[in-house]
Structure 1
Amino acid sequence: MTHGISFPARPDGRRSTTEVGREVVAAALRAVDPAGALGVEQETAWRSGYVVHFRRLVEAGLATPEAWVRIARDGLDAVHQRMVVADDGDGRDTAAADRPLASLLDAAPTRVLHTEEVRGEGAAATELVVPYRGRELRGDALRDQLADWVVRGVMEPSAAEAVAEVAAHPGWLRAEGHTVVVLGAGAEMGPLAPLLRWGATVAAVDLPREAVWERVRATATRAAGRLLVPVDDAGVTGADLLAEVPEVATWVEGLDGRLVVGNYLYADGATHVRVTVAADVLGARLVRNRPDTALAFLATPTDVFAVPRAAVEASTDAYVERGRTAKVVGRPLRWVSRGRLLHRAYPPAADPGIGDSLVPVQGPNYALAKRIQRWRATTALADGGLVSFHVAPSTRTRSVLKNRALAAAFAGAHRFGVEVFEPATANTLMAALLVRDLARPPAPRAHPWQDEAAAAVHGGLWRAAYEPRSALGLAAVLGYGSARG
């Protein structure tokens, strides 16, 4: 049975994620790249062949800023036209029970959520401290580590500069005057814990699961911030965003401060698309009713991005200067694999380059969910809104490590110049970038791809010697033993 936001039902009652994914990508491309749209429509193996089409979405948008924004708008329109609100209360799971997604923009709540406030008992941080490999980095130690990450190509120089700017302005840490709405309060990559340590106001949204809320409340009590929690008349904490967009929207609209709505939700498979769409509808409703609402997103590094010329040059240098052993081993591997293994990441003259780090094992639903977030960031920025969007590093979260192939690849990634972060390090760095964007909003750049690439913490994927997918299998083989341990 299906509840809440979902994929449309066929006449036989089945809900096809493949049909919707293919239709959305084709619709996004159609106006700008008709040939690309036709290629999507004729793709017969979507679950394995989607990778090339998601790359095409980036390539087609590079022609002009207008093309990039048009792809984003058309993609979002296609999502909102196809996704539905399923109502299977009477046991039906058919198209007759589906309602348009747009109905949620004005729907009234069926239950009222009140605000429980948890005040932290700790002292607010007076400086930026980043936990890293058993150390607490601050001051000169933090600046030295930022410089090291830049030298090793783990983050773009603009990311190090932005984090250093926060360290130089510790007053920004409190995000004064803002209420940061964390969708997915229990997520390991979310900013809830660092923001509360810094004394910020955080409104938490997550499923009504007692274990999650016990952990969130305990985090808030130990910290120094102000946690706002949704609770109904029966004392139930939390909400299911898939089925309760009106309830969450009504609650959030009543909160004080400038709203910052951050999507840190994750779910397996098709549910990831569904919760992403739920967050998107919520954001659209809040922006309409409170136009100064800001949006925040973390992009996965395992996607396709346009990357700056400096990253292309660094990757090219790394490829040319790789060691003798790598060259000796690489040649037969490329020959045996017909060029699929250990090849260059970019043509040497590319400007910008296409950093293709899509991991096929993550699947088309994951790719679509993350692309919807990128499209919303693009359109919101084009419409003059405040958007905090940053590429976050690959991180050893529970949701990632339960996938054995990814866990093994992460364990072997360092062999190819890629650093995989611990959650506490990653979420602190990304929270620092968020408060910096709130304190000093970045001006839109000449082309939207540059907005996506700014202050990226990609872990080294953009600047490594090899195209990431061409090294992924070997990284997994090399890391398999340590991943098992």
Structure 2
Amino acid sequence: MSSSGVNFPKDGEQRPTTAVNQGAFAKCVETASPQLAQEVRSVKNWRSGYAAHVLKQVELACKSEENALSIAQDGLAFMHKTMVFERDGAEVSVTDAMAGGNKKFMDSKIFHTGVVKGTGILPKGNGLQVPYKGGVLSGAPLVSQIETWVRRGVIELSTGQALINVVQNESWSDLTDQTVVLVGAGSAMGPFPLLMAMGCNVVALDLPRKGIWDRLISIAKDSPGTITFPMSRASTKESEFAELAGCDLLAQTPEIRNWLLDVRPGERLLVGAYAYLDGPLFVRVSVAMDAIIESLMTLRKGPKIAIAYLCTPTDAHVSSAAAHAQASNEARKAPMWQKLYGAIAGMACPKRRLASNSRKPVVADDGTEYFVTDATVVEQGPNYILAKRLQHWRAVFARSQGHLVSTNIAPATATASVVSNKLFALAYEGQPYFTPIEVFEGPTSNAVMAALLVNDLRNPLSVANPDRKLRNPMELFSENSFHGGAWRCAYKYNAIGLPSIAAGLVGKYGLKYYLVLYNAVQTIGWSVILAKVVEAVIRGGFAGLASSWVSAGPLVVTMHYVMLLEILHSVLGLVRSNPVTAAIQVYSRLQVCIILKYSGNNPALLTGVMLLAWSITEAIRHAYLASNLLQLPSYLLKWCRYSFFFVLYPMGVSGELGSLAASWQDVQEWPLDRNSFDTWLINCAKTIIGVSGNSMFLLYAIYAPGLAFLYTHMISQRGKALGGGASAKKSKTA
């Protein structure tokens, strides 16, 4: 990338970035709050102090529409007037370089146009397809997954509705009538392949590198779309296109603008700013993209241009009351290990505490409450956030001028460049332990973000449409956010970095294999129990089933003691299950086992029925969990896991109640002074029976709602796991 073109202004022989960065944050708020502007300028260490002012800027914008617009306009003006365009040793401001009256640059037309029309056929009736966890979702299964994301808090309700709109309106995905300029067409997070597959007319801008253009042109040829691109000289030989294609966004900014003023005349352009570079280069690239967009807004003839951005989840955004409420709830039910880490880290280093993700709402001048989620990650640095602020400012201002603006928040994505950093890779492994965060693979993120762009283009009710009235321009960022759970996590995104790395380390190298071992032991143990019960039945029929406790009982008791670990797993958050539910299930069954262990009056046939139900249920459940952990999913195991309970649960409960009913007289005679866990369990049963007047009434009263709860819970889980339920019905009737 050239050092000429768009750049930071010189200070002696250097081009420092801090003065511009800090100056932009001060200048943008000066009209709305001179006091805050002075506070920004007084920060001594901007590298570590900038993040607080990202949040304050957003909160100030929420106070009124006037604040939001003045911040956007003043920030843009400062950056365009302060950043410079350097060529041949001479520097002018970006504003002057891109001015319509600057004939030196306006008359500079160095690009020729290349066009490749694809030979692919636009698929009919397939609609939106989203790659996800090794498969491709579409239709009813995709709607079901979208609803799951909404229910868990991975995405907002508006996001889910936008995606379902695209699923249910298949014609929306025919983009043969749309022209989209992709600045940074080869970007890993860009929508180029998906837009081409939808038949879009893509105007592609990227660096003049043959490898990039070989790939882009190859994709275009096989698609039903058309690609248009700048070339350094005219040629009709397709074999030369990749060598001649491309442009330098920084050094050729005015010439790129000039070419775009004339390309595909009369059509509305949607300009998508997807180019990304690290550090100060990202600011330079963002200013160059914005300079082109601003010029096209004022100088291009024909329909008003539309604009598209991908927002990062690691920023401060106006969110929603629902997101705030879930974040508060997640904090209350956070796993014990997270609470312990937060307490210890807070004492050792207050800056590393697990800060709450729930902030008090900002009360606007008109009394409206706005919730702001601060997910800014300090380590990203002030240059990254300034580049993203520039896009936010342009989005707010452009929409106020009647331009359609699509600016949706993309999730954390495990792209190759990100996971090549081992610490980032471990953090991404560990983040899902902070419910409801989910990290996505690149193809999934590409597909869902392209779908949200389609919704913004096609849906007149989308927040992108400038005709839709907003209470405050900052609400543009509160809808259609695919934040991946960052808004609804218990803790600030910036705070979970180190614990995520630790969780990722344990999860990748220890926890997974521990859980595999645990489930394998349980699978083997319960399979042995099942074999003993079956052997007893084969040898003695019903009489054999009645006597099966004699041979299988000791192992059944042992397996239930091992199952006490499941309560610990839930409390520590090692698995996603309710600790209370786990404790009730394990306790109730272990109590039955201990009573049978010491009772001289074993209830024969019902106990055998109970053992048969338990052993089949647990062998299947643990085999299913182990196979999933090893990423060896089995549909047969899944179906058995979520279908056999219809018969096995009533069998198990009948056996448990029958066993207790036949043994309760023995319970009354047991002494209270045995110093063991077994005795404690027996005394608990004795107390329950005593409270109910030496009858089984209270035990029956406890079991009845418990069975109903488990039944309805498993039916709901079955619908989600096997693709049934309400979501599928909705899709069929849509």
Alignment of 1:279-428 (within 5 A): 279-290=289-300, 292-338=304-350, 340-347=352-359, 351-417=369-435, 418-428=437-447
C-alpha separation in 1, matches of 2:177 and 2:284: 31
Alignment of 1:190-269 (within 5 A): 190-233=190-233, 236-256=244-264, 257-269=267-279
C-alpha separation in 1, matches of 2:342 and 2:374: 20
Work out whether residues 105 and 281 of structure 1, in 8 Å CA contact, stay in contact via their aligned partners in 2.
Answer: no
State the match for 1:171 in structure 2. Answer: 171
Amino acid at match of 1:215: R
**Residue of structure 2 aligned with 1:454, choices 479, 489, 498:** 479
Amino acid at match of 1:295: I
State the match for 1:275 in structure 2. Answer: 285
C-alpha separation in 2, matches of 1:358 and 1:349: 17
C-alpha separation in 1, matches of 2:360 and 2:286: 36
State the match for 1:44 in structure 2. Answer: 44
Point out where structure 1 has 5 or more consecutive residues left out of the alignment: none
Task: Please report how far the alpha carbon of residue 184 of structure 1 lies from its aligned counterpart in structure 2 after TM superposition.
Answer: 0.5
State the match for 1:142 in structure 2. Answer: 142
Work out whether residues 407 and 483 of structure 1, in 8 Å CA contact, stay in contact via their aligned partners in 2.
Answer: no
Flag the 1:176–1:101 CA change in 2: closer, same or farther, 3 A: same
C-alpha separation in 1, matches of 2:496 and 2:458: 39
Structure 1, 121-130 or 450-459: larger mean CA deviation: 121-130
Report how many aligned residue pairs link the two structures: 477
Amino acid at match of 2:251: A
Alignment of 1:23-172 (within 5 A): 23-87=23-87, 89=88, 92=89, 97-102=90-95, 103-106=97-100, 107=105, 108-124=107-123, 126=125, 127-172=127-172
Work out whether residues 343 and 353 of structure 2, in 8 Å CA contact, stay in contact via their aligned partners in 1.
Answer: no
State the match for 2:7 in structure 1. Answer: 6
Flag the 1:34–1:145 CA change in 2: closer, same or farther, 3 A: same
Amino acid at match of 1:421: F
Amino acid at match of 1:250: N
Task: Please report how far the alpha carbon of residue 379 of structure 1 lies from its aligned counterpart in structure 2 after TM superposition.
Answer: 0.2
Task: Please report how far the alpha carbon of residue 324 of structure 1 lies from its aligned counterpart in structure 2 after TM superposition.
Answer: 3.9
**Any idea what SS the aligned residue of 1:394 has?**
coil
Structure 1, 354-363 or 150-159: larger mean CA deviation: 354-363
Work out whether residues 207 and 240 of structure 1, in 8 Å CA contact, stay in contact via their aligned partners in 2.
Answer: yes
Alignment of 1:431-450 (within 5 A): 431-441=450-460, 442=462, 443-450=468-475
Amino acid at match of 1:240: D
C-alpha separation in 2, matches of 1:404 and 1:420: 15
Work out whether residues 408 and 482 of structure 1, in 8 Å CA contact, stay in contact via their aligned partners in 2.
Answer: no
C-alpha separation in 2, matches of 1:40 and 1:329: 33
Flag the 1:45–1:444 CA change in 2: closer, same or farther, 3 A: same
Residue by residue, what CA displacement relative to the aligned partner does 1:382-408 show, whole Å, maximum 9, x if unpaired?
A: 111111111111111234334444333
C-alpha separation in 2, matches of 1:321 and 1:216: 48
Flag the 1:99–1:163 CA change in 2: closer, same or farther, 3 A: same
Flag the 1:105–1:339 CA change in 2: closer, same or farther, 3 A: closer
Task: Please report how far the alpha carbon of residue 483 of structure 1 lies from its aligned counterpart in structure 2 after TM superposition.
Answer: 8.3
State the match for 2:540 in structure 1. Answer: none
TM-score (norm 1): 0.93
State the percentage of identical aligned residues: 34
Flag the 1:9–1:325 CA change in 2: closer, same or farther, 3 A: closer
Work out whether residues 118 and 217 of structure 1, in 8 Å CA contact, stay in contact via their aligned partners in 2.
Answer: no
Task: Please report how far the alpha carbon of residue 323 of structure 1 lies from its aligned counterpart in structure 2 after TM superposition.
Answer: 3.2
C-alpha separation in 2, matches of 1:70 and 1:37: 13
Q: Which has the higher helix share?
A: 2
Task: Please report how far the alpha carbon of residue 222 of structure 1 lies from its aligned counterpart in structure 2 after TM superposition.
Answer: 2.5
Task: Please report how far the alpha carbon of residue 168 of structure 1 lies from its aligned counterpart in structure 2 after TM superposition.
Answer: 1.2
Work out whether residues 196 and 224 of structure 1, in 8 Å CA contact, stay in contact via their aligned partners in 2.
Answer: yes
C-alpha separation in 1, matches of 2:185 and 2:361: 43
Point out where structure 2 has 5 or more consecutive residues left out of the alignment: 235-239, 363-368, 463-467, 510-734
Q: Which has the higher contact order (CA 8 A, sep 6+)?
A: 1
Task: Please report how far the alpha carbon of residue 361 of structure 1 lies from its aligned counterpart in structure 2 after TM superposition.
Answer: 1.7
Amino acid at match of 1:374: H
**Residue of structure 2 aligned with 1:471, choices 496, 501, 505:** 496
Task: Please report how far the alpha carbon of residue 328 of structure 1 lies from its aligned counterpart in structure 2 after TM superposition.
Answer: 4.2
Flag the 1:482–1:255 CA change in 2: closer, same or farther, 3 A: farther
Flag the 1:149–1:368 CA change in 2: closer, same or farther, 3 A: same
Amino acid at match of 1:185: A
Structure 1, 252-261 or 144-153: larger mean CA deviation: 252-261
Work out whether residues 389 and 452 of structure 1, in 8 Å CA contact, stay in contact via their aligned partners in 2.
Answer: yes
Q: Which has the higher strand share?
A: 1
C-alpha separation in 1, matches of 2:23 and 2:9: 12
User: Deviation above 6 Å: which 4+ runs of structure 1?
Assistant: 481-484
Flag the 1:445–1:194 CA change in 2: closer, same or farther, 3 A: same
C-alpha separation in 1, matches of 2:161 and 2:201: 25
Aligned alpha-carbon RMSD (Å): 2.1
Flag the 1:405–1:41 CA change in 2: closer, same or farther, 3 A: farther
C-alpha separation in 1, matches of 2:348 and 2:193: 48
Amino acid at match of 1:338: P
Amino acid at match of 1:100: S
Work out whether residues 393 and 457 of structure 1, in 8 Å CA contact, stay in contact via their aligned partners in 2.
Answer: yes
